[in-house]
Amino acid sequence: MIIKNLDNLLSHGNIEGRKVVLDIMETALAAPDPYENTKKVVKLEGNRLVIGNPEFSEPAGREPVEYDLEDVKHIYVVGGGKSVQKIALALEDVLGDLITDGQINTKKGDEIICNRVNVTLAGHPMPDEDSVKGAARMLEIEKSAGKGDIVFYVTSGGGSALKALPAPGISLEDLQAIYRILYFGCGASMPEANAVRNLLTVVRMKHAKYVKDATLVKLEATELPLKLHGHVFFDRTFSSEYERAIYVLKKYGIWDICSTPPASTT
């Protein structure tokens, strides 16, 4: 049960009415559980690995894909977010020792519940050194994958900070400053902030580039309906992701601040 004090809540008042309300609440809270939903998407059936479920696929209704385990060399799990441990734990429980290696980042203060996949507790909502270290290891694993390997990329809300690996020429302090200005200074929405910070990090949204010939499978516990991702949050379309990022910076009047190199200290 998700509701832990159920007996106390049903010990007084309109008990029958309370049962109805609490049943609805319990069902609603259980429906998005990343652990249970991952087990509905990833299954072992004999010597076959079955990935997919029309109920959860994007686009909707996509049929599952099957892999003969004889043809699978390695399975890796990488990613970051506040809910990814539950996704990774479900993969561990389904796949067991078929998982070769893994690295996920979740927020500091969480209990580590995974056994085969390495877990780094990182900074959120501001990225920190542990965000960078964990993300660097994710990149190493992705680059090590080859033909015949499967890489599960698991993600959820909070991943932008938790797996922040600065792009070449950008420091962690630079990233922190951008995050601080966009979120706490300007009040930019998450999609607007992502339009900028996704261009300043290495692994964010670029996983297919690094896994190359390996099979990449994305499992996402999203905070938003998938149909709301992308350009719908903006009042216009853009010819490139760079144009969109510049638009956000100019919208909030911080283009000059963010595009001006710091003064030399020499």
| Spatial separation of the C-alpha atoms in residues 35 and 37, rounded to whole Å | 6
| Spatial separation of the C-alpha atoms in residues 16 and 94, rounded to whole Å | 38
pTM score, whole prediction? 0.84
Sign of CA dihedral 77, 142, 121, 194: negative
Q: At what angle do helices 34-41 and 84-95 cross, to 10 degrees?
A: 40
> Is 198 within 8 Å of 130 (Cβ atoms)?
no
Task: Give all domains of the chain, ordered by start, each with its CATH number.
Answer: 33-165+206-225 (3.40.50.10180), 168-200+229-259 (no CATH)
Residue 46 pLDDT grade (very low, low, confident, very high; cuts 50, 70, 90): very high
Which pLDDT tens digit goes with each residue over 8-20? 999 999 999 999 9
Q: Which of 176, 177, 83 is nearest to 127 (CA)?
A: 176
The one-letter code for the residue type at 26 is E
| Spatial separation of the C-alpha atoms in residues 5 and 14, rounded to whole Å | 16
Mean pLDDT of the chain: 88
| Spatial separation of the C-alpha atoms in residues 161 and 193, rounded to whole Å | 11
* Residue 34 pLDDT exceeds 60: yes
Exposed e or buried b for every residue in 121-133, given b needs 16+ CB within 10 A?
Answer: bbbbeebbeebbe
* Residue 203 pLDDT exceeds 70: no
Which pLDDT tens digit goes with each residue over 211-249? 889 999 999 987 655 444 444 567 788 999 999 999 999
Q: What are the backbone dihedrals phi and psi of residue 189, each rounded to the nearest 5 degrees, phi first?
A: -70, 165
In this structure, what is the dihedral angle of CA atoms 193, 196, 226, 53, given to the nearest 10 degrees?
A: -120
